[in-house]
Amino acid sequence: MGEYQKTIYPGIFKYLGKNGTVYGIDYYAGGKKHREIVGLLLGKAKEKLEDRRKQAKKGIVVQKRITFRNLAQECAKFRIGKQSYAGSEKYYIGYWEESNEWKDESLTNYFGDWKIFQIGTHAIEEYKKEREDTPVKKDGVEQKRAGATVNSELGVLRNMLNKAIEWGWLDQNPFDRFNETPFLGRNVRTRYLTKEEIIRLLDVSPVYLRNVIKAAILTGLRKGDILKMKWSGVNLETGLLCY
C-alpha cells in the first residue's frame, strides 16, 4: 500500500508506491471530489489539474468507473471477425473462449483492473519496459522479445484509447503526449530522399506546391510551419529563418 503526501501546491499530492514517487491531483467535478495519478513530473500534474478544472466548469466529468477490461471487451466485440483481430490483436486485447468466458491477454493482464482515465504516460512507459524485458520462448529457447512486437501492442493500446474517446469514456489519449516516432519505434529507420527521387517528386508535383516541397527538403520544417511562414521571418542577407 502506497503513501499519499501533501505538497505546497493546492490540489496536487505525491504518491509514494512500490514503483517510486508520482504526482497526482484532487479536484471537484459534478459535485464530487475526484483524485487522479498523473505521473513523474510536477509540471504535468499542474497542467492536468488546470485542464480538469476547466472541464469541470463546462460540466464535463470523466467516466471514472470504466476499467480497461471493460474497454477491451467492448473493443473485442466490434473486432470479432476482423482478420487483424484473429491474427494478433486478440492476443493483446483478450478474447472470449468457447465457454463464453473472457480470457485476458497481454494488455488486459497488465491494465485489466485499471480505470482507463488512470492510464498515463508513466504507466505506458512502464508497460513498454516490462514487455521489452520479458523474453519469449521459441522452440523451447528463450529469446528477446522483438521491438516490432512491443510496438504493435502499443499501437493497439493507442487505438483502444482513441475508441474510448469516441465513445465518451475518456477525454484525451496519453499517447498524444509522446513524440511518436522515438517512443513507438526504436527500430524505426530514418530514410531520406535521394537526389533522383527529389527530382522525380518535383516533376510530378503541381507548380504551386514545388516551393513548399523545396522548403521542406532544405529546412526540415513541417508543413504547418512552412505554410505559416511570413516574409518578416526570412532574412535574405544571412539566409536564415527567424521565429
Mean pLDDT, contiguous 10-residue spans, the chain (243 residues): 87 86 86 82 90 77 78 89 80 89 92 89 89 85 86 90 84 76 49 82 86 83 79 76 65
Q: Note whether 218 and 211 are within 8 A (CB).
A: no
Give the per-residue pLDDT at 144.
Answer: 87
Domain segments of the chain: what residues?
3-57, 68-184, 195-241
The phi, psi pair for 186, rounded to 5°, reads -70, -20
For cell 513523474, the residue is: 40
Give the per-residue pLDDT at 186.
Answer: 47
If one counts every other C-beta atom within 10 angstroms of the C-beta of residue 14, the result is 16
Q: What is the pTM of this model?
A: 0.53
User: CATH for 68-184?
Assistant: 1.10.150
Give the per-residue pLDDT at 160.
Answer: 92
Give the per-residue pLDDT at 189.
Answer: 53
Beta strands 136-138 and 141-143: pairing type?
Answer: antiparallel
Give the per-residue pLDDT at 3.
Answer: 87
- Sign of the C-alpha dihedral computed for residues 200, 205, 210 and 214 taken in this order: negative
Give the per-residue pLDDT at 108.
Answer: 93
